[in-house]
């Protein structure tokens, strides 16, 4: 698909890959991304995009650490209302265009492609059977790991300075602090292994 509305994103990086959706609201989607930055640019420069807001760089990772951004692109907002499809990370934005994987009922996918065509007319669309779709990093995490990871990002655990402590998270989630720490450690390890294996 043509990169309509993301031209300014490609000033800072030649390629951005969305590896996970962290939270969804009516105003957009909080995403975990990794970027191949152009020389002289860094994560904070993502906020120069019309539709992205840089939030934080997560600890860990070599070469291309995970970055949390908030995406308010019209297609991201419109896709929230599609209940019969799932947009599967990882997907990417680059000078070659946007590569997105969808799963869902045929009518839902057709409706999404019609909307995408209105918002950002595609140069080409490739349809891949579900069996050929690579599973994203969300599938690596159990439900409790995912719940804790989402809460940690939303409440600022990975911010610098931290917006919340493990003790505060434990109180809010009604979980033992050691359990919270274990869930975060296991989620981080799974995501790091997945990112390294993708390279």
pLDDT in tens, 138-148: 777 777 888 88
Residue 1 lies in a domain: no
Q: 98 and 92 in contact (C-beta within 8 Å)? A: yes
CA–CA distance, 87 with 109 (Å, rounded to integer): 10
Task: Provide the pLDDT for residue 45.
Answer: 93
Task: Provide the pLDDT for residue 64.
Answer: 74
In the predicted structure, residue 69 carries a pLDDT above the cut 80? yes
Task: Provide the pLDDT for residue 167.
Answer: 92
Mean residue pLDDT across the chain: 80
The model carries a pTM of: 0.58
Q: Are residues 55 and 146 in the same domain?
A: no
Task: Provide the pLDDT for residue 3.
Answer: 43
Range of 19-33, 59-73, 89-103, 133-147 with top mean pLDDT:
19-33
Task: Provide the pLDDT for residue 195.
Answer: 76
In the predicted structure, residue 40 carries a pLDDT above the cut 90? yes
Per-residue confidence band for 133, with pLDDT thresholds at 50, 70 and 90:
very low
Question: Which pair of structure tokens corresponds to residue 59?
Answer: 């600890």
Burial of 67 per CB tally in 10 Å (0-12, 13-18, 19+): buried
89: three-class secondary structure by DSSP: strand
Domain termination site, one of 108, 132, 156: 132
Question: Which pair of structure tokens corresponds to residue 49?
Answer: 């995009």
Domain count, the chain: 2
Domain, as residue range, for 123: 9-132
Residue 79 lies in a domain: yes
Q: 55 and 30 in contact (C-beta within 8 Å)? A: yes
Residue 103 lies in a domain: yes
Per-residue confidence band for 124, with pLDDT thresholds at 50, 70 and 90:
low
Residue 81 lies in a domain: yes
- Would you give the DSSP letter of residue 44? G
């Amino acid at each position: 698909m043509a990169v309509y509305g993301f031209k300014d994103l490609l000033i800072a990086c030649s390629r951005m890959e969305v590896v996970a959706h962290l939270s969804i609201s009516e105003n957009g989607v909080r995403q975990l991304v990794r970027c191949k930055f152009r020389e002289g640019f860094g994560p904070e420069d993502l906020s120069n995009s019309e539709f992205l807001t840089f939030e934080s760089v997560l600890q860990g990772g070599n070469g291309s650490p995970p970055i949390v951004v908030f995406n308010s692109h019209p297609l991201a907002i419109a896709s929230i209302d599609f209940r019969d499809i799932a947009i599967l990370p990882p997907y990417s934005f680059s000078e070659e265009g946007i590569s997105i994987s969808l799963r869902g009922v045929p009518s839902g996918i057709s409706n999404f492609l019609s909307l995408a065509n209105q918002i950002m007319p595609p140069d080409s669309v490739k349809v891949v059977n579900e069996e050929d779709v690579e599973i994203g990093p969300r599938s690596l995490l159990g439900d409790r790991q995912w719940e804790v990871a989402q809460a940690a990002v939303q409440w600022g655990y990975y911010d610098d300075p931290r917006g919340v402590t493990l003790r505060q998270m434990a109180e809010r989630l009604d979980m033992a602090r050691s359990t919270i720490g274990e869930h975060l450690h296991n989620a981080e390890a799974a995501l790091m292994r997945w990112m390294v294996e993708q390279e």
